[in-house]
Amino acid sequence: MGSSAQDNVAAPKASPEPPAAHRPPRFRMLGVCVDCVTMAETLRQTEQFIRQGGPHHMVTLDSSMCVLAQRDEALRRIILGAELVVPDSAGVLWASRRLGMPLPERVSGADLVPEIARMASEKGWRMYLLGSKPGIAELAARNLQSRFAHCCIAGTHHGYFSADEEAAVLEQIRQAAPHILCVAMGIPRQEKWIQAHRDALNAPVMIGVGGTLDVLSGTVPRAPRWMQQRGLEWAYRLLRNPRKIGKVLTLPRFVALVLLAGRGTPPQ
């Protein structure tokens, strides 16, 4: 059933007098939204959420999620209701420029989770890694703790649990009492799973991180930096794993939606 570094620890508590919340500017596009944040601002917002106490949902928005949300009303409502939505793809950055409100930079899950782990090691936050295939979360945890010696990974569990096993997984997470819960189940399952259990788990920060644990575990290499900078990470992923073709095929649809919106035509 996975592993836990702490048993029977107290749940995260809010600060007695949390500082006033600051919401970054929010850009509406294609029926969803994205916050105008840098990586540094995202980390400050993460700390703010932890000071306030849970629960808060952080969405990492990419082009495929925008497309799925056109027909998935539940997913669209989750995005619109999330406490923070960060731009997790070059496509979202391009769309923001095209639609007249350029976002400052990409905040990808693969970059964000290590940065949160670095802060966690400094501030004593507990993290829990949930998702991907059996063994992957444990490898990712080991690598993060190797990079950040004082990072507390309070528990891990794979994402291939059955409906009958879910209650035990939820209890394990509650016992671990993480400040940050990273959920890697793919879009839209991870967002819907967080939404369904956010109040029961009450973690201050819950993030859907897609394939980030695979990258952090070392089992899936990330695209070279030059490809990331040129918005070609999708091509690298497709070359490495042709089964990603379904996600890649959402890109033309995304471009069409943005171009139609740019001409003032409501997307269908």
pTM of the model: 0.85
- Rounded Cα distance, 124 and 141, in Å: 16
Backbone angles phi, psi at 84, to 5 degrees: -150, 135
Mean pLDDT of 20-36: 86
pLDDT for 199-258, tens place per residue? 999 999 999 999 999 999 998 766 567 666 656 565 556 555 656 555 657 788 999 999
Instruction: Give the H or E element holding residue 87.
Output: strand 84-87
Per-residue pLDDT for 17 more than 50?
A: no
Region of 31 (left: φ > 0; alpha: ψ -120 to 50; beta: rest) is left
Q: What is the mean pLDDT of the chain?
A: 86
**Across-strand partners of 129?**
156, 182
